[in-house]
Amino acid sequence: MLPLAEPESHSCGMPKPITPAKPEWEIFKALALLAVFILSGCSGTESVQIDEYLVRVDGNVVTVLDFQRAFETAKSAYPHNVTNESSVYREVKQHLLNQMIEALIVVQRAKELNITVIDQELGDAVEKIKRDYPEDEFEQMLLEYAISYKMWEKGLRTRLIMEKVITEDLKNNIVVTPDDMAKYYSEHLKEGSGDLSNKPATEIAVKNLRNAKAELAYKTWINELQRKYKIEINKKQWEKIIS
């Protein structure tokens, strides 16, 4: 169950991030695919009427209908008796809104960095995901969440773009020092196995350390991007949603 918190407005109109039960980085990864399902079906700002949009981040839009569909999917992650509580409903909606705004921000950053995913990369990712499912179970999952394969594939492409942005803009800028390596080996490897001449072991250590540091740096990174872009929330529609 998520701890309850009343949303607050920052100067840019972004609701104050709630404190989830799981680490913020883990929550982002878990909901990323859900968010980009919605992003893949969004309209441009020009084609969305003013009373239909819920969130705008520069040229990226999430409509009220987009949010409602995402919320119906998000509810499945919580026990039925929990989501029946009105206070928890409000908290889940607030958290989902925050995550969708983060996704919009990262997608906008991808445009700035000219980051894309080619068809070959998408195809490889699709095959890798399908291999993790028993026969027909993947298709059943899409049916369960009422998501078409085409929509899912668009969402996956966007998720891959988001992962590229995080790697290029955040992870690749993380510095792993000799002291970090020494501490890692002393904590995670048996005595005598922390030989820096062992290239595979060293590469794994660097990757794990970079991921751990990126997790710590993620909140600062996303907040800096948040201040950079114009984020608009349709307060009238949002009040209807959480009332």
Whether 18 is covered by a domain: the verdict is no
- The CATH number given to whatever domain includes residue 103 is 1.10.4030.10
Whether 15 is covered by a domain: the verdict is no
The dihedral through the CA atoms of 129, 135, 136, 137 has a sign that is: negative
The reported pTM is 0.74
Quote the distance between the C-alpha of residue 103 and its chain's center. 5
CA dihedral 23, 28, 33, 35 (to 10 degrees): 130
What would the pLDDT profile of 75-130 be if each residue is shown by its tens digit? 766 666 666 667 778 888 898 899 889 889 999 999 999 999 999 999 999 999 88
Whether 12 is covered by a domain: the verdict is no
3-state secondary structure of 63: strand
Q: Among the listed ranges 34-43, 52-61, 142-151, 198-207, which one has the minimum average pLDDT value?
A: 34-43
Q: What angle do CA 150, 151, 154 make, to 5 degrees?
A: 90
pLDDT above 90 covers a percentage of the chain that reads 33
Closest CA to 96 of 81, 115, 76: 76
Residues of the domain holding 132: 24-164+230-242
Whether 150 is covered by a domain: the verdict is yes
Whether 204 is covered by a domain: the verdict is no
Give the total number of structural domains in the chain: 1
- What's residue 243's pLDDT? 83
Whether 122 is covered by a domain: the verdict is yes
